[in-house]
Chains A and B, each alone.
Chain A
Amino acid sequence: MLPLRELQSRFAAVAAGRLLAEQAFAGTNAIVEDAPGASARLAIHVHHFRLTLIEALGATFPVVRRLVGDAFFTAAARRYVLSQPPQRPCLFEYGDGFPAFLASLPEAGSLGYLADLARLEWAINRARHAVDVPSLDAAAAAAQIEAPSCDLFIGLDPSCRLVKSAWPVDRIWQVHQQGDDEIAAVDLEAGGVQLFIHRQDGEVGWLKLDAAAFAFIGSLLADGRLGKANALARAIAPSFNAPALLESLFEGGVVASVTAIN
């Protein structure tokens, strides 16, 4: 008799394609051989595992799916599901590694922007489901920023994400919100974008940033200290205007906290 833990491990190995059902349960007599047999019955669960997770990835990466077509998407997603199965039950959190996985596929090499587009869709997905935090009293926080007596820690809303690409992935994403007959051409030579993605009043949107603003927000997300973010941005563009950008962040409701660093 298989201990439950061992039985469950073998079941998972079959689902992930690491073992055939015959190998996993050979000689164990664990599963009753009702016709059509234990392997065919296990296959129902294996099929469900793969199919539903491929569907979940398709829901999170709809533009990637349209770009590559259903057949390629299904094959790629299937390989991803087997190599990086979900670790948690909330499927809106599944797919973190899918952009990098796409980038590693030689077959996807002809679509240079594909992995970046997947990064954008992942950022949109994370922004959409990011935890709610209480909104900040913007007036009080603005006053603190206008007269800083010391360095400040700026906490951004958990929905905030940055995506940088050498391709116009924002335009590619936008034209694929239309039906098949209405997809406009995108000039791939138009150059790259640096996008700041966030959620405001339930809606996910983005701002296009220049290099200095991108570095500024990236530093705030990584570190939080206003002085350091400012210095990084000014090193890129000496004319960088932190107060103006901060004001637009406040207006966008994406500043979650302002704390004095003593």
Chain B
Amino acid sequence: MSTLPSSTERQTAGIGLRCPHFEEIVATRPAVGFLEIHAENYMGGGRMPARLEVVRRHWPISVHGVGMSLGSAEGINDRHLERLARLVERIEPDWVSEHLAWSVVDGMYLNDLLPLPYSEESLAVVAANIAQVQDRLRRQLLIENPSAYLRFAQSTLSEVEFLNELVRRTGCGLLFDVNNVFVNCRNFGGDPLAWIEGLPADAVHELHLAGHAVNDADGVTILIDDHGSQVSAAVWELYERAVARFPNAATLIEWDSNLPPLPVLVAEAQEADRRWRSVHKEVGYAAAA
């Protein structure tokens, strides 16, 4: 981790780098703390990795994978791990993260972050897969808590217990997605504050913020984590509780569908910064003005 921002810089939130914004980002150099990329979009050659070479001169980069399928019972794909390793070696990102989810089985890639039963069997599978990735990358992986729309009856652990155990077994870090916790607590009940309190604070290195959609399924409201709108007021409130507990975590604004003009995305990042500063003044942290 060569270029970790110092603690006084760390509250500057980052944004996801999306293709339609690339030229404008390079031309206007918005004052965001870092840029996050989806690893799988940069695993080929040509213009995409060339763009990354340009932006990494100006911003720290966070590599966020969506396709490693850490929850696959059949194990992870060696070729995909090699491609991630080559990207990480080339970009030297500040953080590398993946999801507590699965997407690959029987030679099919399901292009989704699918939920896992939180069982001892799943724990052994995910821990082994995380260990394999960390061994190959020779660095810590951050694991993101997923959004969920269904629950498994065979779960014997809570998500918080599962994440704690992964940290203990593998030494991985955590990426705390504030919106996902909010969505899950709305979809299934549960207290998001207990969730925040239950995580090992030292392990949380990144926070994600995003908008969600409100869907109606046969008269039941189900929140969908679609990254397609501004962060909701309730999620901002939860974010303030999260930054109080995880002061060293870097914040990222995710926005993938219905992509807004770049200034809207940058304003969301600035709002995160404003809230970070207000929280840490209140609890006595020295904030950089």
Contacts and interface: CB of A to CB of B under 8 A. Distances in A.
B43 A90 contact: yes
Given A49-B112, A202-B47, A4 B150 contact: no
A88 B110 contact: no
B224 A44 contact: yes
A159 B46 contact: yes
Given A31-B152, A91-B40, A129 B48 contact: yes
A130 interface: yes
B108 A41 contact: no
Given A45-B112, A87-B107, A132 B150 contact: no
A231 B212 CA distance: 62
A2 B122 CA distance: 12
Given A1-B154, A44-B222, A129 B44 contact: yes
Interface stretch (A9-17, A103-111, A144-152, A205-213): A9-17
B58 interface: no
13 contacts: A1-B119, A3-B121, A4-B121, A15-B110, A35-B220, A44-B150, A44-B222, A45-B110, A87-B109, A89-B103, A89-B111, A129-B44, A158-B45
A11 B45 CA distance: 33
B73 interface: yes
Given A5-B74, A31-B151, A40 B217 contact: yes
Interface string A33-63: 0111110111011001100110010000000
Interface of B: 40-41, 43-50, 66-69, 71-74, 77, 79-80, 83, 102-112, 114, 116-117, 119, 121-122, 125, 149-154, 188, 217-220, 222, 224
Contacts of B45: 129-133, 158-159
B46 A130 contact: yes
B96 to A, nearest CB: 15
B49 A132 contact: yes
A92 interface: yes
Interface of A: 1-5, 7-9, 11-12, 15-16, 29-32, 34-38, 40-42, 44-45, 48-49, 52-53, 56, 85-93, 128-133, 158-159, 199, 202
A104 B71 CA distance: 36
Nearest to A92: B44
A9 B72 CA distance: 10
A85 B110 contact: yes
A4 B73 contact: yes
A89 B44 contact: no
Given A7-B117, A36-B218, A130-B45, A12 B73 contact: no
